[in-house]
Amino acid sequence: MNTEKRIPRHVAIIMDGNGRWASLRSKERYEGHAAGVEPVRASLRAAVRQGVEFLTLYAFSTENWGRPAKEVDTLMELLCESVVNETPELQRQGVRIRTIGERNRLSERVREHLAQAEALTAGGKRLTVIVALNYSSRDEITRAMRRIAGRVAAGTLTPEQITEQTIAGALDTAEFPDPDLIIRTSGECRLSNFLLWQASYAEFYFPEVLWPDFTEEDFDRAIEEYARRDRRFGLVK
Ligand code: FPP
């Protein structure tokens, strides 16, 4: 964290309320997701302007596969389309794209688009945008535990050698710092299987605004609220 300006180094967003936004307008749910793309652009602009280094977006959870097939398909299509269409602008802005989550269940086409966007934006130095896709924290921790157990079974690691760093290093987020600020829109106050390990010392902000209505000003308000928080990390002042 930049302590002078109190800018969070890593902001993570649970983009919630697309469905409610759509039903309030008698629209289909996928139209709510489509309206959720502009707030992603606005958040990226605000994050770059504010000097945030990492922005994680919860785009599709492992639980989201349980939604109607049409919604799942249109959401995947929208994500693919956004990643492809936005890549040149992201390159221009110095934004690097990365993903977390279990990739194997994503279609070949989605994986190819993501790999291409990651490769094309690899040189971005201003902001890293981490898209959580087919992600859930319990799934991530389970996969990490399997990897660590594999090392123990292979004899390259003893149980006593397992530290918090071993676990953090086996998670999808191994190369990223923990989030400083987690925003969830739509007034819901829960984490829903998002960054459970990484959120240990995060600040939380739950604005009422539905995700499709989220603006650059809303992002700025979240940063202002964060700057007022007193973070002690279990210590005393
Ligand atoms: C939650 O709202 C939102 C999602 C499951 C999808 C989020 C995806 C986007 C905003 C698309 C654009 C993303 C990127 C990264 C380009 P909900 O459907 O659960 O809303 P509800 O709780 O009102 O039903």
Catalytic residue list contains 230: no
CA-closest residue to ligand 1 atom 15 = 59
CB neighbours of 156 closer than 8 A, spacing ≥ 6?
A: none
Q: How far is the CA of 167 from the centre of ligand 1 (A)?
A: 29
Residue 187: pLDDT band (50, 70, 90) is very high
Q: Read off the pLDDT of residues 142-176 as tens digits, 9 standing for 90 and up.
A: 999 999 999 999 999 999 999 999 999 999 999 99
pLDDT on residue 233: 86
pLDDT on residue 73: 92
> Ligand 1 — pocket residues by CB below 6 A?
15-20, 33, 36-37, 40, 57, 59, 64, 75, 78-79, 82, 131, 211
Catalytic residue list contains 218: no
Average pLDDT over all residues of the chain: 95
Q: Read off the pLDDT of residues 111-122 as tens digits, 9 standing for 90 and up.
A: 999 999 999 999
Closest CA to 73 of 109, 46, 123, 122: 109
Model pTM? 0.95
Ligand 1 atom index nearest CA of 82: 16
Which tokens go with 167? Answer: 């676990």
Secondary structure (3-state) at 38: helix
Ligand 1 atom index nearest CA of 86: 16
Q: Taking 60 as the threshold, does the pLDDT of residue 3 lie above it?
A: no
